[in-house]
Amino acid sequence: MVMSSASPISVPFFSGAASMRADMPLLEPRLRQIAAAGQFVDGDEIRQLEADLSSYIGALHTVVVGSGTDALALMLTAAGIGPGDEVVVPAYTFFATVSSVLHVGADPVMVDVLPGSYGLDPDRVAEVIGPRTRAILPVHLFCQTCDIVSLREIAVTHGLLLLEDSAEAIGMRVDGVHAGLLGLAGVLSFFPTKTLGALGDGGAVITDDQTVASRVRRLRCHGWDEGSRHYLAGGRSSRADEIQAAILRSRLWHLDDDIARRAELACRYTVSLADLEPAVRTPYLGAAKRQSNLVWYVYLIETSRRDELAEFLAANGVGTEIYYPRPLPAQPCLAGLPGARHPVPVAATASHRALALPLYPDMSDAQVDRVCALVRDFHAGERRS
Amino acid sequence: MGATGARALVSGDLLVRCVAEIAAADQFILGRQVAELELKVAGLAGWGHAIASASDTGAMLLALTAMGVGSADEIVVPAFGGMPTATAVVLTGATPVFADVDTATMSLDPEAVEAAVGPRTTGLLWSRPLRSAESARVLRELTRRRGLFMLGDTLMMPDAGNTGDAAVAPGYRRGASRLTERAAACAFSLGPESSFGGCADAGMVVTDDGQLADACRGLRNHGQRRRFVHDRIGFNCRMDEIAAAYLLHRIPGLQAELATRQSLAAHYAERLRPLAPQVRIPAQEVCSSAGQGYVILASRRDELRDYLSSEGIGAGACPAVPLHLEPAFARLGYKPGQFPGAEFLARECLALPMHEGLRLADIRHVAGKITCFYQGNGA
């Protein structure tokens, strides 16, 4: 079972070239303006992007920075998290969630997630809260928010800060409130494959809190304080540039269309793959007090022979990603930390079964059908063998 | 005349073409353009390896972390210098220990370094050429005796048309390895304010040490050995393809730009030298001047700056506060008066406009206004 007999349509894991071509007429004059002004950082495009994003997500403040990873570290510092503090994070997420906690000198405590939403399990969180716990940092992954309402109740009960890794969550809302604004602050990532992606790294801190916002503004440029004309402590170097800001602005106006197209494609996957249950488990809504709307950043299936399926798809021109091959406590550089000692069976199971299929607005229906046909072929072989 | 270092050589067509090409290639970060830029820069600078990063601070952070610097270490940093370097030291968790500088060269004073080195000191950062071969010898002996590494925090691409003396400019040339047993790497900016003049914040590490280069490459991408397997607590410190493509387009014209700036600097020097002792011209690497402006030391600096500003000439202090007196380092307990060289420079230094768009008439105009100021016609 090496090559499938179906028609050879290749499906890269991500492509944004067609969208970018369509955006160029809008983008070109802005690029020329940037070049003419010679202002590549800290200019009008960034300020305008911050205003546009604030209005899209309904935040009082958006501070654009160099990457989603930097946004996390800046948010934590601005919230006063530092050495001696413990921050509860999920064991199943991208590395930056936990590395940002380490980079500000705090100690991450990694706990298990719920199946379905892959978000922090509130019961597990409650078990690890101790005298040094300062904050909960939940992550919204793939297509829906985590059980943020329960987590917020825990935070309030124990007097903890709720900070959200909403890097993947643009467009996701709970009771009408955008992800990232349900606690003190949240982040966005504009990594190129994201629902709102730039052509390079980029990120933002989003918050309704004036103090956090003004601290992040200062910290993103070495702690430079315009009022006193001095550098204050805790700064980083994390400026987004005008070109990426202009690109993001040209895409923001069709973000809702992109989200709608992603939903169509996700629905097509789910309908087509439904009868492969239980060999293939399509995404389902996690248990939560209040459900979020769905924003399909990633279409993640679970399947028992995941690595073989990924190889088979690759051999047939279909790109996939494994989100994520290891729970964080099993990462070589994290395994020895005190916060890596909690059992994480749900995360461990998912790390053996999860596979992200291609999903982006430039995909055609035929490409989804091609991926589904290959998944079907793979499992037909399984039934025969 | 615009702000210090304002740029006149930016083409809208070039920018549009870069963005369109990158978008069509569907390759965004650390791709083909970045790899090509790294090769070209390594070749131009005469180092074995070049590692692109998101900023100059990022480049220094990668180099320091790759050297194993962490919270137990103290790193000697020139008290008169840029915040990006000091930020990088703090981000590793290490403690910066400031040392005074020589006012004629604005570079580290070897005696001050000797005084700053303590039992926890593991390395020192270098930013400008030393005054003399004797200073270099003293520092080399010190770093060897104490087993310290040196990292060059260079304001420009090392060796790109640099007119400095290689023998006394360690950190700028491949010859850096002659200075210390563990000469490691140089980090520098390729951002919009640098002499290279990119279109986004960007930085580069250059080194001859293959292992150090590999470590930097891993660290800049979340410490990943392979996708989603993290060996080290790395960073997100990557250059994107647009920034790299733009810099690649600028390389062919770079030598000519540097030559222009050198000639402009010579004109400044010729016209301002007669104003001594009120105006003095410190030794400076001309090609760094695009980022920093053309640096002079001026008595009544703030008055002069305000006067020039009222005449429509953008000039700036660079920096106006020595690092040891910034509130960011208040916890380290430094006091005013502790580093007289750095404090003097911070009081007197002024960066005059310096960019390729300047004409000789502009230089004449600026120098004329400064002359007016000191001859009592302007103040």
Q: What is the pLDDT of residue B132?
A: 63
Tokens of B342: 């750095």
Yes or no, beta carbons of A14 and B240 under 8 Å apart: no
Tell me the chain B residues in contact with residue A17 when contact means C-beta distances shorter than 8 Å: 23-26
Q: What is the CATH number of domain A255-384?
A: 3.90.1150.10
Tokens of B25: 């290639």
At residue A324, what is the residue type? Y
By C-alpha distance, which of B77, B79, B74, B76 is closest to B337? Answer: B79
Q: What is the pLDDT of residue B9?
A: 53
For residue B1, being part of any structural domain is answered with no
Q: What is the pLDDT of residue A301?
A: 97
Q: Give the alpha-carbon dihedral of A91, A96, A99, A103, to 10 degrees.
A: -150
Yes or no, beta carbons of B83 and A231 under 8 Å apart: yes
Tell me the chain A residues in contact with residue B320 when contact means C-beta distances shorter than 8 Å: 229
* Domain edge (last residue) among B246, B281, B314: B246
Question: Is B188 an 8 Å CB contact of chain A?
Answer: no
Tell me the chain A residues in contact with residue B229 when contact means C-beta distances shorter than 8 Å: 325-326, 331-332
Give residue-wise pLDDT tens across range B65-79. Answer: 999 999 999 999 999
Query: Are residues B219 and B74 located together in one domain of the fold?
Result: yes
Q: What is the pLDDT of residue A381?
A: 65
Yes or no, beta carbons of A237 and B58 under 8 Å apart: yes
Q: Above 60 in pLDDT, residue A369?
A: yes
Q: What is the CATH number of the domain that holds B44?
A: 3.40.640.10
Tokens of A23: 């955006």
ipTM above 0.90, yes or no: yes
> Between β-strands B224-226 and B49-53, what pairing exists: parallel, antiparallel or unpaired?
unpaired
Q: Above 50 in pLDDT, residue A318?
A: yes
Give residue-wise pLDDT tens across range A155-178. Answer: 999 999 999 999 999 999 999 999
> Between β-strands A86-90 and A133-136, what pairing exists: parallel, antiparallel or unpaired?
parallel
The Cα-based distances of A191 to A200, B94, B162 in angstroms read 6, 30, 37
In chain B, positions 85-104, which contact chain A (CB-CB < 8 Å)? 87, 90-91, 93
Element (H, E) at B206: strand B203-207
Distance, CA of A181 to CA of A174 (rounded, Å): 10
* Domain edge (last residue) among B246, B270, B295: B246
* Domain edge (last residue) among B211, B246, B281: B246
**Residue scoring higher pLDDT (A60 or B13):** A60
- Is residue A114 within 8 A of residue A345, CB to CB? The reply is no
How far is A336 from chain B, CA to nearest CA, in Å? 12
The whole-angstrom distance between residue A246's C-alpha and the CA centroid of its chain comes to 21
- Is residue B327 within 8 A of residue A231, CB to CB? The reply is yes
| Identity of the residue in B87, B222, B331 whose CB atom sits nearest the CB atom of A222 | B87
Q: What is the pLDDT of residue B103?
A: 86
Q: Above 50 in pLDDT, residue A283?
A: yes
By C-alpha distance, which of A168, A181, A191 is closest to A61? Answer: A181
Tokens of B372: 């007016």
- Residue B64 CB partners (closer than 8 Å, separation 6+): B75, B88, B89, B92, B94, B123, B151
The Cα-based distances of A99 to A72, B320, B361 in angstroms read 9, 35, 53
A20 to chain B: closest CA residue: B23
Domain A19-252 indexed as CATH 3.30.70.20? no
Distance, CA of B33 to CA of B39 (rounded, Å): 10
Mean pLDDT computed over B299-309: 95
For residue B2, being part of any structural domain is answered with no
Query: Are residues B143 and B95 located together in one domain of the fold?
Result: yes
DSSP track, A173-241: EETTEETTSSSSEEEEE--TTSSS--SS--EEEEES-HHHHHHHHHHTBTTEETTTTEEPTT--B---B
Query: Are residues B202 and B310 located together in one domain of the fold?
Result: no
- Is residue A240 within 8 A of residue A64, CB to CB? The reply is yes
Distance, CA of A210 to CA of B284 (rounded, Å): 43
Give pTM, 2 decimals.
Answer: 0.93
Distance, CA of A261 to CA of B101 (rounded, Å): 60
| Identity of the residue in B20, B233, B331 whose CB atom sits nearest the CB atom of A99 | B233
Question: Is B200 an 8 Å CB contact of chain A?
Answer: yes
Tell me the chain B residues in contact with residue A70 when contact means C-beta distances shorter than 8 Å: 236
For residue B143, being part of any structural domain is answered with yes
Yes or no, beta carbons of B54 and A36 under 8 Å apart: no
Query: Are residues B311 and B357 located together in one domain of the fold?
Result: yes
Distance, CA of A73 to CA of A60 (rounded, Å): 20
Q: What is the pLDDT of residue A380?
A: 87
Q: Above 90 in pLDDT, residue B294?
A: no
For residue B5, being part of any structural domain is answered with no
Quote the number of domains for chain B.
2
How far is B5 from chain A, CA to nearest CA, in Å? 10
In chain B, positions 115-174, which contact chain A (CB-CB < 8 Å)? none
Distance, CA of A66 to CA of A45 (rounded, Å): 14
Distance, CA of B348 to CA of B358 (rounded, Å): 24
How far is A233 from chain B, CA to nearest CA, in Å? 4
| Identity of the residue in B12, B236, B243 whose CB atom sits nearest the CB atom of A35 | B12
**What percent of chain B stands above pLDDT 90?**
54
Yes or no, beta carbons of A199 and B56 under 8 Å apart: no
Least trusted range by pLDDT, from A181-190, B199-208, B292-301: B292-301
Query: Are residues B132 and B220 located together in one domain of the fold?
Result: yes
| Identity of the residue in B11, B200, B320 whose CB atom sits nearest the CB atom of A40 | B200
Give residue-wise pLDDT tens across range A299-311. Answer: 999 999 999 999 9
Yes or no, beta carbons of B222 and A27 under 8 Å apart: no
How far is A203 from chain B, CA to nearest CA, in Å? 11
Least trusted range by pLDDT, from A249-263, B112-126, B160-174: B160-174
Least trusted range by pLDDT, from A8-22, A282-296, B305-319: A282-296
Tell me the chain B residues in contact with residue A40 when contact means C-beta distances shorter than 8 Å: 192, 198-200
Query: Are residues B172 and B289 located together in one domain of the fold?
Result: no
Q: What is the pLDDT of residue B304?
A: 96
Query: Are residues B258 and B365 located together in one domain of the fold?
Result: yes
Give residue-wise pLDDT tens across range B32-64. Answer: 999 999 999 988 877 889 999 999 999 999 999
Tell me the chain A residues in contact with residue B93 when contact means C-beta distances shorter than 8 Å: 105
- Is residue A188 within 8 A of residue A170, CB to CB? The reply is yes
User: Where residue B211 falls among pLDDT bands split at 50, 70, 90?
Assistant: very high
Yes or no, beta carbons of A40 and B192 under 8 Å apart: yes
Give residue-wise pLDDT tens across range A222-255. Answer: 999 988 989 988 899 999 999 999 999 999 999 9
Site from B194, B236, B237, B326 to mutate, A interface, most A CB atoms within 10 angstroms: B236
Give residue-wise pLDDT tens across range B87-103. Answer: 999 999 999 999 999 88
Sheet of B203-207: strand order equals B49-53, B203-207, B185-189, B149-154, B121-126, B74-78, B95-99
> Between β-strands A161-164 and A185-189, what pairing exists: parallel, antiparallel or unpaired?
parallel
- Is residue A31 within 8 A of residue B12, CB to CB? The reply is yes
Site from A13, A199, A218, A298 to mutate, B interface, most B CB atoms within 10 angstroms: A199
Yes or no, beta carbons of B12 and A200 under 8 Å apart: no
At residue B369, what is the residue type? K
How far is B138 from chain A, CA to nearest CA, in Å? 33
Query: Are residues B166 and B36 located together in one domain of the fold?
Result: yes
How far is B256 from chain A, CA to nearest CA, in Å? 20
How far is A34 from chain B, CA to nearest CA, in Å? 8
Question: Is B211 an 8 Å CB contact of chain A?
Answer: no
Least trusted range by pLDDT, from A74-78, A225-229, B3-7: B3-7
Q: What is the pLDDT of residue B219?
A: 97
Yes or no, beta carbons of B198 and A40 under 8 Å apart: yes
- Residue A234 CB partners (closer than 8 Å, separation 6+): A77, A219, A223, B328
Query: Are residues B229 and B316 located together in one domain of the fold?
Result: no
How far is A371 from chain B, CA to nearest CA, in Å? 20
Tell me the chain B residues in contact with residue A215 when contact means C-beta distances shorter than 8 Å: none
- The helix/strand count (H/E) of chain B reads as 12, 12
Yes or no, beta carbons of A333 and B231 under 8 Å apart: yes
Query: Are residues B265 and B362 located together in one domain of the fold?
Result: yes
Chain region(s) in chain A for CATH 3.40.640.10:
19-252
* Conformational region of residue A38, where left means phi above 0, alpha means psi within -120 to 50, and beta covers everything else: left
Chain region(s) in chain A for CATH 3.90.1150.10:
255-384
Neighbouring CB atoms inside 10 A of A209's CB total 17
| Identity of the residue in B87, B222, B242 whose CB atom sits nearest the CB atom of A199 | B242
Query: Are residues B283 and B236 located together in one domain of the fold?
Result: no
Mean pLDDT computed over A132-157: 97
Tell me the chain A residues in contact with residue B25 when contact means C-beta distances shorter than 8 Å: 17
Mean pLDDT computed over B354-379: 86
Q: Above 80 in pLDDT, residue B137?
A: no
A83 to chain B: closest CA residue: B93
Tokens of A295: 């924003």
Give residue-wise pLDDT tens across range B330-347. Answer: 999 999 999 999 999 999
Q: Above 50 in pLDDT, residue B182?
A: no
How far is B269 from chain A, CA to nearest CA, in Å? 27
By C-alpha distance, which of A116, A121, A143, A146 is closest to A302? Answer: A116
By C-alpha distance, which of A111, A212, A91, A115 is closest to A154? Answer: A111
Neighbouring CB atoms inside 10 A of A381's CB total 13
The range of the structural domain enclosing residue B208 comes to 12-246
How far is A243 from chain B, CA to nearest CA, in Å? 8
Query: Are residues B228 and B181 located together in one domain of the fold?
Result: yes
For residue B7, being part of any structural domain is answered with no
